[in-house]
């Protein structure tokens, strides 16, 4: 029997290998993220953190995972059996799927001479191929839409977990998280519009190429407010402190995953860290130049060294952002629920709209070309200066107005009391 | 086929992700012990014996948030498409027109937003 591998089939096979590699790297990174979080929190709180299992506690989280795997899966009598099993899957699947659009490095050229070999009595004919394989799971033209769509799906897992548990803590956690994630999803979508206006495309690889050529080409300099809004909304979407009200361990037990144990709990836990990882990757890609370094790559294009260079810079940026998220967790207290909703609807949403209108105005008057610009051009460009100044004015005005509105009631009450 | 080809890796990833989840959950369920006691089957309420139904009434506020989300998310979808079309160089003098159109659209939207704000739909206290 003969099997012919067409170039398309070869590409898909190579992609499958790449997917398996990326997936396993993600699975390996998650325990080390947890370990790094515990170590860093320990450092902030002046204690050593995990230091018993292995040198520097390095095996701690791996052993924890193993322990969770071997634990009893407790299912209280009152839970909805189907949904209780489905909810962890529905949380972990979107967390993994979001990773599909993240570009990890420049493409690499793969050359196959073609030929024939036999495997298990099957003759396999390989067509000669030269193809540039982009390092990443896939490259979609609608990458950002895909990102918004799949992160939106994450709500279902959490709400279903809360609902299926049939426990008061879980239900409260689930309801809270649905309202929180819905509220911040709007700010998340709108904060990206500024970047989209400048980039003119949904394709993440194209957005990275526009930012190539060094530090001063990064979109964060053209979209400081958008960057900030996206980051805050991302914190809320990944349920990290100070937005971790769905869990709220001091008031709700463990929130939506109170009734989950063993591997089901581990699924929620992994999903949270995977979400952190992908969110950091997307933030780095959109605003911080993605896999391009602050200096130009010294390696030849389409080679493996160039790939290593790209992966190194993306991982370095992800590491910094994740460390920042952990640092925030060690620094800020949790929001009160009304503060959370106020921030989402009354500050982030109007600010995102203002940012969008201002960016659109500047882009309409001074359309930026999609080309490499030098540092002098960026700093001197009227669009950059105008945008930054305008946003500062809008931001300050916004904060003053918000303060007036939000604290008006308090002041009235105080005046009445006097 | 060319159009759909980028989605094949996503399909592979979906299969891998679901496979990973189902296999680990099933294996862990098989390996783990299973000792059933009465207290284990109760919903967890920090040691208290649960009283009443768990499906308590939920404040109407949450429903309102869902409604508002639908409204503004629709608008986000429209704006995202507009943002990509905004840079279209093929139509002369398109950008000022597109900008004004969006400003008018936003004006209508902001009127609604101010109305709901004044109505107290965004208050949680």
At a CB cut-off of 8 Å and minimum separation 6, what does A319 contact?
Answer: none
Q: Is A120 left (phi over 0), alpha (psi -120 to 50) or beta?
A: left
Cβ neighbourhood burial of A96 (10 Å; 0-12, 13-18, 19+): buried
A137-150 exposure pattern, b = at least 16 Cβ within 10 A, e = fewer: bbbbebbbbbbbeb
Nearest to B15 by CA among A137, A116, A268: A137
A14-53 residues touching B, CB cutoff 8 A: 15-16, 19-20, 23
Residue B111, φ and ψ in degrees, nearest 5: -60, -45
For residue A391, the cross-strand partners are: none
Among B18, B62, B72, which would you mutate to test the A interface (most chain A Cβ atoms within 10 Å of its Cβ)? B72
Chain A positions touching B16 (Cβ under 8 A) are: 19-20, 23, 96
| Whether A75 contacts A81, CB under 8 Å | yes
Please say if the pLDDT value at position A56 is more than 60: yes
d(CA A30, CA B116): 42
d(CA A191, CA A228): 9
Does residue B64 lie in a domain region?
yes
Q: What is the pLDDT of residue A29?
A: 92
Q: Do B86 and A349 touch (CB under 8 A)?
A: no
Domain count across chain B? 1
Chain B positions touching A138 (Cβ under 8 A) are: 6-10
| Structure confidence by residue, pLDDT tens digits, A168-184 | 888 888 888 888 888 88
How many residues would you count in chain A? 418
ipTM summary value: 0.88
Residue A140, φ and ψ in degrees, nearest 5: -95, 145
Q: What is the pLDDT of residue B59?
A: 82
For residue A2, the cross-strand partners are: A123
Does residue B125 lie in a domain region?
no
Among A152, A189, A230, which would you mutate to test the B interface (most chain B Cβ atoms within 10 Å of its Cβ)? A189
Identify the closest residue of chain A to B35 by CA–CA distance. Answer: A72
Q: Which residue has the higher pLDDT, A123 or A45?
A: A45
How many residues would you count in chain B? 125
The pairing of beta strand A129-136 with beta strand A2-5: unpaired
Range A308-333 average pLDDT: 90
pTM tops 0.80: yes
Averaged pLDDT of chain A = 83
Please say if the pLDDT value at position A299 is more than 80: no
d(CA A201, CA A370): 11
Report yes or no: A209 at the B interface, CB cutoff 8 Å.
no
Extended strands (E) in A58-186: 103-112, 115-119, 122-126, 129-136
Q: Domain containing B28 — which CATH number? A: 1.20.58
Residue B55, φ and ψ in degrees, nearest 5: -80, 70
Angle between helices A143-165 and A81-97 (to 10 degrees): 160
DSSP conformation class of B17: H
d(CA B34, CA A47): 37
| Structure confidence by residue, pLDDT tens digits, A5-32 | 788 888 888 889 999 999 999 999 999 9
Report yes or no: A119 at the B interface, CB cutoff 8 Å.
no
Of A19, A179, A360, the CB nearest to B102: A360
Distances (CA, A) of A120 to A1, A126, A338: 10, 16, 65
Of B18, B28, B96, the CB nearest to A89: B18
Tokens (6 digits) for B58 = 């939920």
Residue whose structure tokens are 């189902």: B22
Of A92, A193, A338, the CB nearest to B125: A338
Of A201, A346, A363, the CB nearest to B122: A346
A44-62 exposure pattern, b = at least 16 Cβ within 10 A, e = fewer: eeeeebbeeeeeebebbbb
The percent helix, strand, coil of chain A (3-state, each to 5) is: 70, 10, 25
Residue whose structure tokens are 């604290």: A407
Q: Do A72 and B84 touch (CB under 8 A)?
A: no
**Nearest-CA distance A237 → chain B (Å):** 14
Please say if the pLDDT value at position A115 is more than 80: no
Q: Do A93 and B43 touch (CB under 8 A)?
A: no
Chain A positions touching B69 (Cβ under 8 A) are: 182-183, 185-186
Chain B positions touching A338 (Cβ under 8 A) are: 123-125
Q: From first to last of its 125 residues, what are the pLDDT tens digits of chain B?
A: 567 788 888 999 999 999 999 999 999 888 888 888 887 788 777 777 777 777 778 888 888 888 888 888 888 888 988 888 887 666 666 777 788 888 888 888 888 888 888 888 777 76
Please say if the pLDDT value at position A280 is more than 90: yes
Tokens (6 digits) for A279 = 């969110």
Residue A170, φ and ψ in degrees, nearest 5: -60, -45
Helix (H, G, I), strand (E, B) or coil at A59: coil
Q: What is the pLDDT of residue A371?
A: 42
Cβ neighbourhood burial of A99 (10 Å; 0-12, 13-18, 19+): buried
Please say if the pLDDT value at position A374 is more than 50: no
Residue B113 structural domain: 2-119
For residue A126, the cross-strand partners are: A5, A115
d(CA A203, CA A145): 9
Q: Omega of the bond prior to A242 within 30 degrees of 0, cis?
A: yes
Angle between helices A262-287 and A81-97 (to 10 degrees): 30
Q: What is the pLDDT of residue A317?
A: 92
| Whether A241 contacts A328, CB under 8 Å | yes
Chain A positions touching B8 (Cβ under 8 A) are: 12, 15, 138
Nearest to A144 by CA among A194, A93, A190, A192: A192
Cβ neighbourhood burial of B73 (10 Å; 0-12, 13-18, 19+): middle
A345-364 residues touching B, CB cutoff 8 A: 345-346, 349-350, 353, 356-357, 360-361, 363-364
Give the pLDDT band (50/70/90) at residue A211.
confident
d(CA A355, CA A223): 9
d(CA A128, CA A115): 7
Q: What is the pLDDT of residue A391?
A: 65
Give the distance, in angstroms, between the CA of residue A139 and the centroid of all CA atoms in the same chain.
Answer: 17
Does residue B124 lie in a domain region?
no
d(CA B23, CA A73): 15
């Amino acid at each position: 029997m003969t099997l012919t591998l067409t170039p398309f089939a070869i590409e898909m096979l190579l992609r499958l290998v790449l997917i398996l590699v990326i997936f396993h790297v993600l699975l390996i990174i998650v325990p080390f993220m947890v370990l790094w979080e515990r170590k860093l929190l320990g450092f902030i709180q002046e204690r050593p953190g995990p230091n018993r299992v292995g040198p520097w506690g390095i095996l701690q989280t791996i052993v924890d995972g193993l322990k969770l795997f071997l634990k009893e899966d407790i299912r209280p009598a009152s839970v909805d059996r189907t949904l209780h099993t489905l909810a962890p899957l529905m949380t972990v699947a979107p967390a993994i799927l979001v990773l599909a659009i993240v570009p990890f490095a420049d493409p690499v050229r793969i050359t196959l001479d073609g030929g024939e070999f036999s495997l298990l009595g099957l003759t396999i004919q390989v067509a000669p191929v030269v193809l540039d394989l982009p390092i990443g799971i896939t490259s979609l033209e609608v990458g950002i839409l895909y990102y918004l769509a799949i992160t939106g799906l994450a709500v279902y897992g959490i709400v279903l977990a809360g609902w299926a548990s049939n426990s008061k803590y879980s239900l409260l956690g689930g309801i809270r998280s649905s309202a929180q994630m819905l509220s911040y999803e709007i700010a998340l979508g709108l904060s990206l519009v500024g970047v989209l206006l400048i980039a003119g495309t949904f394709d993440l690889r194209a957005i990275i190429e526009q930012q190539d050529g060094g530090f001063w080409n990064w979109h964060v300099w053209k979209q400081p407010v958008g960057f900030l809004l996206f980051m805050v909304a991302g914190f809320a979407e990944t349920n990290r402190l100070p937005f971790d009200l769905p869990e709220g361990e001091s008031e709700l037990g463990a929130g939506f995953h109170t009734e989950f144990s063993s591997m089901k709990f581990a699924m929620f836990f992994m999903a949270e860290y995977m979400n952190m990882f992908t969110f950091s990757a997307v933030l780095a890609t959109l605003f911080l130049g993605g896999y391009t370094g602050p200096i130009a790559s010294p390696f030849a294009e389409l080679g493996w060294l160039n790939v290593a260079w790209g992966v190194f810079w993306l991982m370095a940026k992800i590491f910094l952002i994740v460390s920042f998220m952990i640092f925030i967790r060690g620094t800020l207290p949790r929001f009160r629920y009304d503060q959370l909703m106020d921030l989402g609807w009354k500050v982030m949403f109007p600010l995102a709209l203002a940012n969008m209108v201002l960016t659109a105005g500047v882009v309409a008057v001074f359309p930026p070309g999609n080309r490499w610009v030098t540092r002098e051009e960026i700093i001197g460009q009227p669009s950059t200066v105008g945008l930054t100044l305008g946003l500062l004015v809008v931001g300050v005005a916004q904060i003053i107005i918000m303060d007036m509105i939000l604290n008006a009631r308090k002041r009235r009450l105080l005046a009445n009391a006097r | 086929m060319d159009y759909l080809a980028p989605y094949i890796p996503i399909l592979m990833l979906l299969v891998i992700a679901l496979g990973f989840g189902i296999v680990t959950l099933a294996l862990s369920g098989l390996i783990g012990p299973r000792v059933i006691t009465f207290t284990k089957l109760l919903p967890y309420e920090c040691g208290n014996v649960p009283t009443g139904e768990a499906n308590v009434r939920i404040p109407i506020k949450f429903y309102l948030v869902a409604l508002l989300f639908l409204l503004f998310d629709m608008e986000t979808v429209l704006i995202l498409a507009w943002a990509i079309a905004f840079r279209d160089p093929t139509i002369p003098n398109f950008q000022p027109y597109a900008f004004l159109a969006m400003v008018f659209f936003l004006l209508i939207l902001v009127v609604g937003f101010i109305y709901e704000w004044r109505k107290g739909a965004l208050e949680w206290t």
